[in-house]
Structure 1
Amino acid sequence: MTTAEKPSAGLAAWFDERAPGLKRLYRKHMSEYWVPTNLNLWYYLGVLNLVLLGNQLFTGIFLAMNYKTSAKDAFDSVEYIMRDVPWGWLIRYMHSTGASLFFVSVYLHMFRGIMYGSFKKPREIVWILGTLIFLSLMTEAFLGYVLPWGNMSFWAAKVIISLFGTIPYVGDSLVQWLMGDYLPADATLNRFFALHVIAIPLALILLVTLHIFALHEVGSNNPEGIDIKHGPKGNRWSADGPADAMPFHPYDTVKDFFVVGAFLTAAAFIVFFAPMFGGWFLEHDNFIPANNLATPTHIRPSWYFTPFYAILRMIPSFGGTALWGMLAMFGAILLLPALPWIDRGTVRSVRHRGRGFRVALAIFAVSFLGLGLVGAGGTAELFGTWFPHADVTVLDNTFGRLMVLGYFGFFAFLWVYTRFGIEKTRPVPERVPPQ
């Protein structure tokens, strides 16, 4: 049987005749999309994000089939999923663990973008779309955190929504509109469920698609920060392709499968043996039904929100209002899409940037982790253990405000460091080093 007579070839020809755009799409984004040959493990976080998004969508569908959106039944419906639905416990743990692992991957993915300058020209739109995905994920995670209607879910909703009450003139009306009531109740759950299951996932799918398409228009960055499109032409696969590149499929996708397999193996161990992860992925207080008369001992958000929650806590309340803390918290997030215009340096990769940038980046990473620990209450416990006779609150606030300074200081330093030509960079190689 000749190649033309094979059923697979005939099916491909049938599709190509009726939808010729699909073949062009496949070539552009798979077999003829050129990726640098020097990509390292940092560059496989993107595909992990796609896998984890698929996991959240898949498991979320099955959870929604058995969930009830009422304050009376929501908690019991989650318990029903865990105890009576066949494999329901596994679906729920895949969803909750998947959410935390998703943020681990996203945070590392964003840090890689800052480290290797993937936000710089011509990838500004790719970066901005990525930060919009991050904002959507944060919204989606908060909405989903409320839905189990445990005691921590109720009070987290109460505290976070009440923050909008600090907005002058419209704050109280805005809080009531978001809750749909004077306290989180049926109306709140109905709204959050609709947004969590329909609106935000649709926005996420659209943004992820645009993010990938924008990336494939300008091409992937690499650890050297060199634009391979402007280099010499010709490689073993094409006379017109960049010399230091290879086709995304099948040569890079093979590596993707290996990395995804290793990651899923580690994730399976967490799901089966430590789904709560010591209270970090699922808080103990959230296994208690919501009670508006019983406040948890420590109200704190999930770990992936704790850095920004710490910023809110560490900014003093002026005039008896938390408005400035809320503005600082949202400002910390909104600085990220502005990064292409804050960093005016021409060199992309940390490998060739000045010592000041490398030190500032390290301080930024430490500050972000420190803020996460402050927001989770970990530093108060540590200081209480280390300094039993000291004022723990003063130590905690001092440390937290230093971390806030380190976070915002990174962006301020970067603007001054690059705008006024202080940075002394290293020579950038003309081509990707041979692998």
Structure 2
Amino acid sequence: MFKRVIVLVMDSVGIGHAPDAAAFGDEGANTIGHIAEAAGPIRCPNLRRLGLGQLVTTGSDDEAAVTGIYGALTETSTGKDTTSGHWELMGHPVTVPFPTFYEGFPKELMDLFTERTGYGYLGNEVASGTEIIERLGAEHMRTGKPIVYTSADSVFQIAAHEDVIPLKELYRICQITRDEVCVGDYAVGRIIARPFVGELGSLVRTSNRHDYSRMPEKTLYLEILQAAGKQTIGVGKIGDIYAHVGLSASYPSKSNSHGMNIAARLLGGDFAEGLMMVNLVEFDSLYGHRRNPAGYKREIEDFDYQLGGFIELLTDEDLLLITADHGNDPTWKGTDHTREQVPLLGYYRGLTESKPIGVRKSYADLGQTVLDNFGCVGEYGTSFLSLIK
């Protein structure tokens, strides 16, 4: 039905706790709803026009008629992290939890890290990234040892000042950790390079972050699309999340705005037929984890402004879908993701009415719909294509 499908993933923009949220300690979490309560109405007329206001309270009194596709996705995967959410979107639900380390990594793993990378380490604890680099930054700069930390997610994060351990060397350390250290029972979802710059007392993380995902165990819907001769383009950290499996092209981004600009350029370029998937990470990394409702609100409003122009670039043969990969309620306890349902919004030119698709039972419904559009089928999810066109 459509030659091109564009999926925008608003990283962490949840719309209320999932049915199983109590098992994750997240019953009552609501990313968008609580942002509106804490920071005031979210002015997002384009998202509301697509149907966001039918799914969650934004605090806005904009009552524009809904001319969009709207519904909610419910995650079946065992985690509430970026990898689990994105993998399920592309037909790979995570049924066996990735390993997590709530008391830091065991000694035998860190000994192997030192042996294989040639570096000692600082930290090795559960921590907020911004807090730990301030606390251990001076010792890191004195000793040259990278800072290792984790979180409630299945991640092994390695932080280093770019003037102490250059980017190329930090990336090398992370690749060794992915390939030779965090394997077997220690195969975490992601190894994350966390470079930072600045002076003591004003250290800041940079956009040179790089994720090293574990390899998927099942066939991704991206691979099925490729086998059918369709383009599969990733923008932002999509390539890292899927370990570059099933992607015909990958374009890293420096910010949400930069990612949207790349996507807009590709619409007018060589993207002829297939799927373009865009991850917009700053909702999560800059505002969700840092528990900043006001900043999160502004980022949603900035995205909404760009979205208005992006929609104007769509052709008669394009389908736009907007969703998220998990929640990250900035008013919630701790600094970790929250188990929430996520929005599913959509639009195509010529749509003149609302198209409700209800609460979907799996994130994989999105991927199955993309496959259905191109005459393919996957193992997981139920297509909603017939409901929208």
TM-score category (smaller protein): under 0.3
TM-score scaled to structure 2, two decimals?
0.24
Which has the larger helix fraction? 1
Q: Which has the higher relative contact order, 1 or 2, with Cα contacts under 8 A spaced 6 or more apart?
A: 2
Which has the larger strand fraction? 2
TM-score scaled to structure 1, two decimals?
0.22
Q: Of the two, which has the highest radius of gyration?
A: 1
